[in-house]
């Protein structure tokens, strides 16, 4: 289900959430350890924001980021101006002009907590598919579970939250083969429900984020032993078929068989 976040959108709340992301660096460390095996050498980050994730990617041959915020793009350019392998552009993934970047021979696309802000996320997925080289991988992290959708989502411009079946269907419709999917951070999901659904807050309290950052190693350790049945985030990795075109029916059937066995 797609909601209309414009009704309660708060630009100040969105900016606060962007800045408070720096308070949960241990969660980002965990996230990047999960996705690192899928990273190639020519990486595109869709919706790079203030460049918080670039520190994990500076060893790549090419790190290309884009964002729709002129201010964010300018800040990232200043921050990484001495890095010859880093480029940042002001673009939207739904703009056909972005397809010119296909000439960059990208083997990886990455997007963390961005696609929920895009009304036509299927178009964004199709453009991402077109940007990648055959065999290229798309690493996508989005908020999980529509049942958690509340004031903390609408205030920062979320159209939706995702389930595994919903996101898998959209990835496959865009042409991707889905390699893996997992929920992350069960404790974070509980906190989102309490703050957003129960207390009707518009942003997570910073004190709680600092506390979460301190206990993330324990949450991470627990979830390494027990496959999380839910979480605040959903991580899914798709691959563009080696043939370069949309998935075949045989590939789709194999994916469905794997999901039934999971």
Domain ranges of the chain: 5-261
Greater confidence, 157 or 250?
157
What integer pLDDT is reported at residue 20 of this predicted model? 72
Please state, rounded to an integer, the average pLDDT across all residues of the chain.
89
Greater confidence, 262 or 99?
99
Greater confidence, 170 or 23?
170
pLDDT digits (tens, 9 = 90+) for 47-94: 998 888 998 999 999 999 999 999 999 999 999 998 999 999 999 999
Q: Is the pLDDT of residue 171 over 90?
A: yes
Q: Are strands 233-239 and 106-112 parallel, antiparallel or unpaired?
A: unpaired
Over range 184-199, report the average pLDDT.
94
In a 10 Å sphere around its CB, with 0-12 CB exposed, 13-18 middle and 19+ buried, how is residue 245 labelled? exposed
Q: Is the pLDDT of residue 253 over 90?
A: no
What integer pLDDT is reported at residue 131 of this predicted model? 98
Neighbours of 49 (CB within 10 A): 20
Q: Is the pLDDT of residue 262 over 50?
A: no
Find out if CATH 3.40.50.300 is the number for domain 5-261: no
Pure H helices in the chain: 11-20, 25-35, 70-79, 121-131, 151-154, 164-174, 186-192, 206-225, 249-261
């Amino acid at each position: 289900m797609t909601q209309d976040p414009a009704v309660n959108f708060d630009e100040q709340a969105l900016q606060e959430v962007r800045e408070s992301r720096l308070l949960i660096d241990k969660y980002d460390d965990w996230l990047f350890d999960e996705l690192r095996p899928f990273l190639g050498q020519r990486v595109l980050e869709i919706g790079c924001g203030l460049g918080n994730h670039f520190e994990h990617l500076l060893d790549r041959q090419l790190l290309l980021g884009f964002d729709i915020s002129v201010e964010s793009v300018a800040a990232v350019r200043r921050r990484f101006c001495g890095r010859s392998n880093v480029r940042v552009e002001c673009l939207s993934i739904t703009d056909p002009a972005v397809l010119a970047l296909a000439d960059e021979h990208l083997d990886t696309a990455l997007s963390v907590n961005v696609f929920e802000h895009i009304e036509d996320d299927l178009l964004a997925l199709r453009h991402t598919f077109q940007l990648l080289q055959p065999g290229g991988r798309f690493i996508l992290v989005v908020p999980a579970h529509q049942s958690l959708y509340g004031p903390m989502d609408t205030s920062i411009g979320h159209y939706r939250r995702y389930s595994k079946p919903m996101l898998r269907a959209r990835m496959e419709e865009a042409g991707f083969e889905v390699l893996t999917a997992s929920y992350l951070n069960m404790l974070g999901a509980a906190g989102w429900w309490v703050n957003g659904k129960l207390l009707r807050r518009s942003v997570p309290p910073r004190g709680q984020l600092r506390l979460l950052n301190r206990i993330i190693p324990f949450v991470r350790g627990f979830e390494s032993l027990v496959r999380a049945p839910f979480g605040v985030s959903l991580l899914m990795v798709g691959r563009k078929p080696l043939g370069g075109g949309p998935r075949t029916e045989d590939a789709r059937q194999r994916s469905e068989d794997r999901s039934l066995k999971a």
